[in-house]
Amino acid sequence: MPNNETGPGSPRDPSFERKPDQADLDRRAARAAESLLDNEALTGDLDDQAASQLLNWGTAYARHIAHSTAGLNEAEAEVAMEPRLQALQQWMHSVGQWIVSPPGREAESQRAAFATLIEQFATVYGVGFTAPDPERREAFLSQLSATKPGPLQFIAALRELLEGQADLP
């Protein structure tokens, strides 16, 4: 049955065909950020401060993802954003799970879980992300084992590691 709706975001909306202006991009970015804010499962197990810190980081990336679609119409943008926004949600959930239930004490299980976090983040960031080299990864994991940081410190340290010198949101 054909969709006869013509409201914003519907396939018959004229903005589906035209390239976006700044207001369109801002609305697109707001929708992407709201998709995270409305998903309590992403941070439900974290305390309020850690949840807020992770959500702030995640929404910055959701906006970044939306703004990276500046040359695309709505239909093209949705296709381009979907896998990255899904990866962002998976990544945020994985970070939250690491905080509330860290991987086993065995180095291999930590390395595997950490490699998954980095792979998810690479999808979120997209082209241009350079993953930390193996030495930096090992140093990070060693530091975690030695200092056992709280949730806020873990998120801040992870952000510093992943963003490094890159120009990220």
Segment 119-152, tens digit of pLDDT: 999 998 888 888 999 999 999 998 888 888 899 9
Average pLDDT over residues 17-21: 71
Considering the chain, what percentage of its residues have pLDDT values greater than 90? Answer: 49
How many whole angstroms separate alpha carbon 109 and alpha carbon 4? 51
Question: Is residue 131 situated within a structural domain?
Answer: yes
Stretch (H or E) spanning 99: helix 74-100
Neighbour count for residue 51 (Cβ, 10 Å): 20
pTM of this prediction exceeds 0.85: no
Side chain identity at 12, as an amino acid letter? R
In a domain, 13, yes or no: no
**To which residue do tokens 């709201």 refer?**
34
Q: Which residue type occupies 43?
A: T
Say if 10 falls within a structural domain: no
pLDDT of residue 96 exceeding 80? yes
Task: Map tokens 């945020």 to a residue.
Answer: 92
The one-letter amino acid code at 100 reads V
Residue 85 lies in a domain: yes
Cβ neighbourhood burial of 111 (10 Å; 0-12, 13-18, 19+)? middle
Query: Is 111 inside a domain boundary?
Result: yes
Task: State the residue range of the domain holding 63.
Answer: 19-163
pLDDT for res 3: 47
How much is the pLDDT for 49?
95
Residue 87 contacts residue 124 (beta carbons within 8 Å): yes
The residue with greater pLDDT, 72 or 19, is 72
Q: How far apart are CA 63 and CA 32, in angstroms?
A: 6
Confirm whether 130 is domain-assigned: yes
How many domains, the chain? Answer: 1
Do the domain assignments include residue 47? yes
In a domain, 64, yes or no: yes
Cα–Cα distance, 77 to 70 (Å, whole number): 8
pLDDT at residue 2, rounded to an integer: 45
